[in-house]
Amino acid sequence: MGTYRVAMLPGDGIGGDVLAAARRVLDAVGFKADYQYGDIGWEFWKAEGNPLPDRTVKLLKSTDVCLFGAITSKPKEEAAAELSPTLQGKGYSYASPIVGLRQLFDLHTNLRPCKAYPGNPLNLRDDIDLVVFRENTEGLYAGVEWHPIPDSVRQALRVHPKMKRFDDVSNEDMAISLRLITRKGCQRILRSAFEHAQAYNYKTVTVVEKANVIRETSGLMIREARKMAAEYPGIELWETNIDAMCMWLVKNPQNYGVLVATNLFGDIISDLAAQLVGGLGFAAAGNIGDEYAVFEPTHGSAPKYTGMNKVNPIATIQAARLMLDYLGEREKAAQMERAIARVVVEGKARTYDMGGTTTTTGMADAVIAALK
Ligand code: NAI
Ligand code: MG
């Protein structure tokens, strides 16, 4: 094992607390890394007009992988108002740095494992083991949107017979967000999902779309899924619609394994699946591309708990565990996961979200003790 170069981006609010907790667990499991801390988030937006400074992008490019805490993000008008007076009116506009990272590094796969650790009072049931693969760069989040609609776009859309119904709606009274899906985008996320199912012995991959109604985009995803499934004879492909899937996930979540979806549907089922197994204090994500990956808890900066040493660090410890898996440190990753499972089942250390009084550092101490 060599020494890995790991970028650490604590960000805002509780980001620093949870990242520090995860770092201590990584040290305790014997993971050797050269950690480089970088700037990201609201402070840098206010002071520099950029929440993702160029020096941070440069730092990431010099590392193997990134562990990210959380950032604060606010709507357009509030963001503009909080910008340093010397930068006001100079054309700075706020954009989410985490979305920026996904696009900049082409982190096409969003990986969200949602596994119930028995004994967690927040579990819907104890036998849930889901892994969501969400396409992270296109679909409805591609950012191709108009309001009002430019005349040229309006003109071009006339080729579609269904547009006739909207002939008397003005450009100003219409908004369009394009659900843009590519074959390559479908293939990349499906490949990640099937490879994961194979590597970790999941029997099924469920593709979650709505192909009976959204015929072209969902249709492309489903057809690509069928083609790819033929390459994995040991894995069964199940096809469901997003609305029914929400119902099934609440009714029989234990029946599913790997789930795969385009951007918006994947976003929706990720949060639903996370809540089945403990919610924000437990949910971690990997943003994985061909060259680089960023791991994070999925919660935000929870400003009201800043500096209180109160929130649950397990989500971030899980993010660190996913990072080890990505780096090929499977044994250390498994050791971390066993420690988390042990702490949960013993039930002695519980943060406030689990109904207890254990602190952030106290929870990290408990996980470290359970590594032995
Ligand atoms: P949030 O996730 O920061 O917090 C919502 C609530 O969830 C908290 O008040 C707390 O009760 C609970 N919570 C969050 N993390 C927890 C943890 N580790 N342990 C236990 N409980 C936890 O979401 P909110 O309040 O909507 O947003 C706060 C800020 O974070 C906003 O500026 C938002 O834009 C940003 N945000 C950033 C994200 C990111 O960095 N990836 C993701 C989501 C929100
Ligand atoms: Mg989401």
pLDDT profile of the chain (372 residues), mean per 10: 89 98 98 98 97 98 98 92 94 90 94 98 97 95 93 96 96 97 98 96 98 96 98 98 98 98 97 96 97 97 96 98 96 98 98 97 98 90
pLDDT, residue 372, reads 83
Task: Report the separation in Å between the CA atom of 240 and the middle of ligand 2, taken as the mean of its atom positions.
Answer: 20
Spell out the residues 6+ positions from residue 158 whose beta carbon is closer than 8 angstroms to its own. none
Alpha helices (runs of H) in the chain, residue ranges in sequence order: 15-28, 42-48, 54-61, 76-82, 97-104, 151-157, 183-199, 217-229, 242-251, 263-276, 314-326, 330-346, 360-371
Report strand pairing: 65-70 vs 109-115: unpaired
Q: What is the pLDDT of residue 143?
A: 84
Q: What is the dihedral of CA 237, 239, 243, 249, to 10 degrees?
A: -30
Does any domain span residue 138? no
Are residues 56 and 34 part of one domain? yes
242 lies in the same domain as 285: no
In a domain, 47, yes or no: yes
CATH number at residue 195: 3.40.50.2300
Residue 134 is assigned to a structural domain of this protein: no
Which residues surround ligand 1 with Cβ inside 6 Å? 18, 70-73, 98, 280-281, 296, 299-304, 311-312, 315, 353
> What pLDDT, on a 0 to 100 scale, did the predictor assign at position 185?
97
Instruction: Report the number of distinct structural domains present in the chain.
Output: 3
Pocket test for ligand 1, best of 67, 134, 280 (most atoms within 8 A of CB): 280
Q: Are residues 70 and 156 in the same domain?
A: no
Residue identifier of the C-alpha nearest atom 43 of ligand 1? 300
State residue 260's pLDDT score. Answer: 98
Q: What is the pLDDT of residue 368?
A: 98
Do residues 13 and 111 both lie within one domain?
yes
- What pLDDT sits at residue 75? 86
Domain co-membership, 254 together with 297:
no
The whole-number pLDDT of residue 103 equals 86
Q: Are residues 286 and 227 in the same domain?
A: no
User: What is the rounded CA–CA span in Å between residue 336 and residue 354?
Assistant: 20
Query: DSSP letter string over 191-208?
Result: HHHHHHHHHTT-SEEEEE
Q: Who's near 22: CB < 8 A, 6+ residues apart?
A: 67, 313, 316, 317, 319, 320, 364
Residue 102 and residue 1 share a domain: yes
Whether 107 and 163 map to the same domain: the answer is no
Q: Which residue, judged by its Cα, is nearest atom 40 of ligand 1? A: 70
Residue 86 maps to which CATH number? 3.40.718.10
Query: Domain residues for 246?
Result: 182-276
Between CA 26 and CA 329 the distance in angstroms is 11
Instruction: State residue 2's pLDDT score.
Output: 66
Whether residue 251 is found in the same domain as residue 349:
no
In a domain, 137, yes or no: no
Domain-ending residue, one of 276, 302, 329: 276
Which of 225, 249, 276 corresponds to the end of one domain?
A: 276
**Could you tell me the distance, in angstroms and rounded to a whole number, from the CA of residue 352 to the centre of ligand 1?**
15
